[in-house]
Structure 1
Amino acid sequence: MNVSIERMERESNKKSVLHNIDNRIKLIITIGIIIYAVYTQNLFVLLVMEIYLILLILLSKISFSYALKRILLILPFGGAIAIFQPFIKSGAVLYTLPLGITMTYEGTIFGILLLSRLIVCITAIVLLSSVTPMQEIINSARKLGMPREFSMILSLMIRYLFMFYDELLKIRDAQKSRCFDIWSKKTAYLWRLKQIGYTIMMMFLRSYEQGENVYFSMLSRGYSDNSRLYNDNKKLNVKDYTFIAITISLISLLEITRYFSVI
């Protein structure tokens, strides 16, 4: 899958209606959708929320196939928990497998619900990161009340993350120039594994040296523990309020529909 930090930043710097919405609003809406997805137990509500997020992805003009790849790349980390629920949760036996393994009805329903929640949450996070640069997400969280020390650490982490990525690309280009291919079956597995270890070691050494140079450059420009980050006073416009109103109206409508359907 062609999923890289560079590609993520290119997608987040595109121009669309969703890209132009205030970053604080996008962060608040994303957190709200995640909380609501975890709260609800209605599969129909989760389906509607996922369709809404997909429509936002299409409206934002980002590559749908790229967003889908990112969702599928993250999904296995939590999806494995949902897959095992039918076999570990007690309840009425739905199906009996060989070796005495049983699937329960309650476990299957809970696994589907857990997987649906996970898909909605991941889609919301992928959408946010695809229409908002990483640094802007941290800046928006700081404006919303994130502690200064925490936001400073995250800001530096993002900057060093790109530096790590640049160093990795340089090392990989050097290896390609020497005809090294990690997936080549013509070379011994242990030798390839050793080269991967050398690559990781070299990447950290180069990144450490570059990080020291960057840190000393920051000190020479007046950086200290008491340094303050710049905050721009951007006011909300009609697009921001419209996006909030549409999302809140959708969630409210779903809750009202679910309430009356229960009654």
Structure 2
Amino acid sequence: MRDFSELIGDLDFERLVVDETALHRLDPRIKLLGAIGLIFAVVSMIHPGIPLLIFLLTLIVSVAIGIPLNTTLKRLIAPLTIAIVVFIVVLFTYGGEEILTVFHGISIHREGLNLGVLIFVRLVASISILNIFIATTPIQDTLSAMKWFRVPPIFVDLMGMMIRYVHLLSKEGVRMHRAQQARCGFSDRLSYLAKMRNIGLLGGALLLRAFSRGECVYLAMLSRGYRADSRIVKKSRPISLKEILLGSFIILSSFLLVILDRMIGEI
């Protein structure tokens, strides 16, 4: 089992945004638009081949821009767990005409297998696209891009605060976990249920601390004149013609990939 502090370390979204590759320097509005376009294309596809290819390409791009492969794979652990659960549920619950096999009295249909694989690769490809976007775009630039696209200010403010306090509460959780370890809260002599109870106590204490800190921060913001129309993100710079053309190319490519996916089904 991985150490709790290592799991929290994977939540550091901006740890790799210090490089100076072309993708890092690209305008965040173009990257946000391209990421959304590619994700919409992936979830619109009805065959697993192209989403799987996109996933492999994202791994290659990640390595090419300096993101360690093990970091990329670590960030995929949680989404992969969810994707595997969804795959198993669809596999055993989705019916069809052709039965592949029977597992402990439960029929597994070809249609269920195909749909499960499709959903699995859609999830993995979409998360991989988001991973590249997060690893190459500072949070403040992302918020500015959302503001430029006329996302309601309340959502932009909430996202900025959530991301900030995910880091703070994660570090707080690491300190609490280490304190429990120092008091033999996860000793090998304890049973599995006792360890789970200690984790539950840690999570409950962290949740109460999050509510308390959130209330204090909100009151502090109000005392400093915060309002719904307050500007907490920087103003975006003008987009160059080259970046506009690149963004148009990404959106057009996303549409073409969906069309290609439909053409594969007709062959």
Task: Please give the TM-score of this superposition, normalised by the length of structure 2.
Answer: 0.80
Identity level (%): 26
- Deviation of 1:229 after TM superposition, in Å, equals 3.0
The aligned length equals 261
CA distance in 1, matches of 2:125, 2:143: 22
| Aligned pair partner of 2:52 in 39, 47, 59 | 47
| Aligned pair partner of 1:108 in 89, 113, 120 | 113
RMSD: 3.0
Q: Residue by residue, what CA displacement relative to the aligned partner does 1:130-187 show, whole Å, maximum 9, x if unpaired?
A: 22233432332122110012212222222222221232233234344x34352x3213
| Aligned partners of 2:91 and 2:112 also within 8 Å | yes
| Aligned pair partner of 1:15 in 11, 20, 27 | 20
What is the one-letter code of the residue matched to 1:97?
V
- Deviation of 1:226 after TM superposition, in Å, equals 4.1
Q: Is 148-157 or 237-246 further displaced after alignment?
A: 237-246
Correspondence for 1:203: 206
| Aligned partners of 2:98 and 2:110 also within 8 Å | yes
| Aligned pair partner of 2:128 in 123, 130, 140 | 123
SS of residue matched to 2:108: strand
SS of residue matched to 2:23: coil
Task: Please give the TM-score of this superposition, normalised by the length of structure 1.
Answer: 0.81
| Aligned partners of 1:3 and 1:70 also within 8 Å | no
Change (3 A) 1:256 1:111: closer
| Aligned pair partner of 1:74 in 79, 96, 108 | 79
- Note the residue ranges of structure 2 that are not aligned, 5 or more in a row: none
SS of residue matched to 1:42: coil
| Aligned partners of 2:153 and 2:229 also within 8 Å | no
- Note the residue ranges of structure 1 that are not aligned, 5 or more in a row: none
Q: Is 133-142 or 231-240 further displaced after alignment?
A: 231-240
Between 1 and 2, higher relative CO (CA 8 Å, sep ≥ 6) is seen in 2
| Aligned partners of 2:147 and 2:156 also within 8 Å | yes
CA distance in 2, matches of 1:196, 1:259: 47
